[in-house]
Amino acid sequence: MPKSREQAFNEIVRRVRKECFGKGPERIHTVFVDNMAISVLQGNLTPTEKFISRTPEGAEMVRLARTSMIQELYKRKVPEGLEEVAGSKFLYLFSDFKVEEDMGVSVFIFERPIPKEPLPDGFICGKQANQAQESAE
């Protein structure tokens, strides 16, 4: 059975967050609406971030890091496989984070509507695709 676009998209989002913050979200739920991917991410905070966020100033620092840093990261370089899974060019990322609930929401905007059909059988994207191509050579 082919992997759903949502599953593949979530794997990319989780990998990027883990590489950036040292921990990816424990749960991600993504829905595609027209040219948008809307992801709710839960269980994101590292033990250090939880410790820092015990004060209002620390919580705001964590919130800024979890929103501004990730937006800047996507602006500088589109994560491997993201556009392939969405079937369209990535344009913008809007995100917010509720430190108290350890929950974030990200809205990814693409150039064209995201296809409804599942990914083709054997679809591989991102780092996995590069590794598969290298081992085939």
60, part of any domain:
yes
Q: Is residue 16 part of a domain?
A: yes
Instruction: Find all residues with CB under 8 Å of 16, minimum gap 6, and list them.
Output: 70, 73, 74, 79
Per-residue pLDDT of 10-66, as tens digits, reads 999 999 999 988 899 999 999 999 999 999 999 999 999 999 999 999 999 999 999
Instruction: Specify if 20 maps to a domain.
Output: yes
Please calculate the CA angle 98-103-108 and round it to the nearest 5 degrees.
100
CB 93 within 8 A of CB 102: no
Q: How many helices (H) and strands (E) does the chain have?
A: 6, 4
The model's pTM: 0.85
Q: Which domain holds residue 97?
A: 5-110
CATH code of the domain containing 68 = 3.30.980
Number of independent structural domains in the chain: 1
Mean pLDDT for all residues in the chain: 89
118 is a domain residue = no
